[in-house]
Amino acid sequence: MRKNSDTKIWLAILFIFGLRIIIAAGMNLVPDETYYWDWSRFLSLGYFDHPPMVAWLVFLSTAILGDTFWAIKAVPLLGGLGITILLFYLGRRYLIREISLILLLVLANFTLIFSIGGLILTPDIPMVFFWVLSLLLAYQALFEDKTWAWPLLGIVAGFGLLSKYVFVLFGLSFLLYLIFDSTQRKILRTWKPWSALFLSIIIFSPNIYWNIQHRWASFAFQLGSRAGQPDFGKRLTYFLEYVGAEIGLLSPFIFYVLILATILILKRFLRNQPLRFLLFFTFVPLFFFALFSWRNRIEPNWPAAALITAILLVIWFREISLEKQGIIRFINFAIIFSVLTTFIVTMHGLFPFLPIKSEKDRTAEQRGWKEWAAEVNEIRIKSDPRLVYPVTANSYQVTSMLAFYFPDHPRTYSLNLHVRSNHYAFLPARENALKDTIIFVTELYQGELPKDYLEVFEYYQILKITDRPIGPEYSKHYGVLKGILRESFDG
């Protein structure tokens, strides 16, 4: 590729980054984002839900920008920029034409999973960044014979594991590729991949230590069944939900092109080692989660990293099909459809206009939190002018939102009544903080405060029932209480 042609690509990267900033400016924070922000105020080598990388990154951003909206959004914005740049360097090893590289970057940033999901702070952001960087280093190690890339790959993979445990699928994909590729199998008899493995374990070891100290709590949570032992009907439902979600997030037409690209590679390009490399990193994670979906419900974002290489395969297929106008027209349509769908959903998230009831609108979860938290804070101040009572809630979502939007950013706690455990159960000061009078906020169910929640209190006073409007015809209702927990409460 000519060096002077890179100018347009860098301009495209800057344009995409600027557009993402504009979109982010119109968004509200969602509970998961304030949850990870709250992690960053209690730095650790691990957390119940995930490894610590996302908290470490937020700690750095808040150290510069303070406990602000943009400090939280800086992580996905800069992470997305980094992913885009790395994908450009990986893509130029597969694509020749400038338009192909631009389409790769556009499609990677404007499919549903990366456009909307890529603007929300989650552990997936650093995980995908280190995944793409590891892909680039693995390519250089295998196909460009860069010896230095092997130890660096191990270090980067260690950071990937510190981002999200699902990064282990990178190692599985890489191992299976080396085993099944007869020309690459001999590398397993050298020091190179084992040095990378050793370094990745060393980098990841702080989180292993944290798990040892906490009875493997995080590993057990991630590996355990979250749905008991589902019957066949539920298993089938989970599987179909997973398949439908991945097709929907990538877009049905793009997914169809991916299948065509895969068939072509298997028929005509199976000897092409770099293409086989991409196939393994696409389909090993997808098939793994397909199998796992027969045991647990799979969140749509879990296989996100696999969709990066899927998009690269789609654009590669377009480039080698230039002489087939029918295929090119269909792929162009698929790209336009994907980008247009993403645009419509994004605009709806910013300015709701689609005929979707608020209680069923996934984008509605971001609405109303700031104003509602301000109302709850006024109730709190009236009951506790000196702000000495600990603030508690019954879910990590409400707990973290109150912590972020209250002006004094208090240390908040979740009682975790009849819900799964979370980060708040591991706070060292939690037991002492809950011994005296507390402020407790919980969502109402069927218009009432849950009786089993109230039963854990020795004494309580209902301060007020509040509403969080999330649509013109729908609100969620919350109770704000002051009380003292029973001595038998163990949370």
List residues bridging with 156 in a β-sheet.
Answer: none
pLDDT tens profile 371-420: 999 999 999 999 999 999 999 999 999 999 999 999 999 999 999 998 88
Residue closest to 264 by CA, chosen among 298, 227, 314: 314
Question: Amino acid identity, residue 375?
Answer: E
**Which of the residue ranges 176-180, 207-211, 487-491 would you say has the lowest mean pLDDT?**
487-491
pLDDT at 228: 57
Check if the beta carbon of residue 476 is closer than 8 Å to that of residue 467: yes
Question: In the predicted model, what is the mean pLDDT of residues 118-133?
Answer: 96
Question: In the predicted model, what is the mean pLDDT of residues 335-354?
Answer: 92
Question: Amino acid identity, residue 221?
Answer: F
pLDDT at 1: 43
pLDDT tens profile 300-320: 899 999 999 999 999 999 999
pLDDT at 270: 85
Q: Please give the Cα distance from 103 to 335 (Å, whole number).
A: 8
pLDDT, greater one: 360 or 450: 450
Q: If you search the block for the tokens 């910013």, which residue do you land on?
A: 350
Q: How many angstroms separate the Cα of 444 from the Cα of each of 25, 129, 206, 447, 462? A: 31, 39, 40, 5, 12
Q: Please give the Cα distance from 379 to 385 (Å, whole number).
A: 10
Question: In the predicted model, what is the mean pLDDT of residues 171-198?
Answer: 96
C-alpha of 36 from chain center:
11
Q: Please give the Cα distance from 38 to 6 (Å, whole number).
A: 40
Mean per-residue pLDDT over the chain, rounded: 93
pLDDT at 59: 98
pLDDT at 5: 65
Structure tokens given for 358 = 């608020």
Half-sphere exposure of 220 (CA within 13 A, CB side): 11
**Which of the residue ranges 46-55, 150-159, 290-299 would you say has the lowest mean pLDDT?**
290-299
Share of the chain above pLDDT 90, in %: 81
The full set of domains in the chain, from first to last, is 3-350 (no CATH), 365-485 (3.40.190)
Question: In the predicted model, what is the mean pLDDT of residues 76-92?
Answer: 97
Q: Which residues 6+ apart lie within 8 Å of 214 measured at CB?
A: 46, 48, 426
**Which of the residue ranges 39-43, 160-164, 321-325, 378-382 would you say has the lowest mean pLDDT?**
321-325
Edge to edge, what strands does the sheet with 474-485 contain? Answer: 412-414, 391-393, 438-443, 474-485, 457-471
pLDDT at 98: 95
Question: In the predicted model, what is the mean pLDDT of residues 112-141?
Answer: 94
Q: Does residue 487 surpass a pLDDT of 90? A: no
Q: Does residue 193 surpass a pLDDT of 90? A: yes
pLDDT at 2: 45
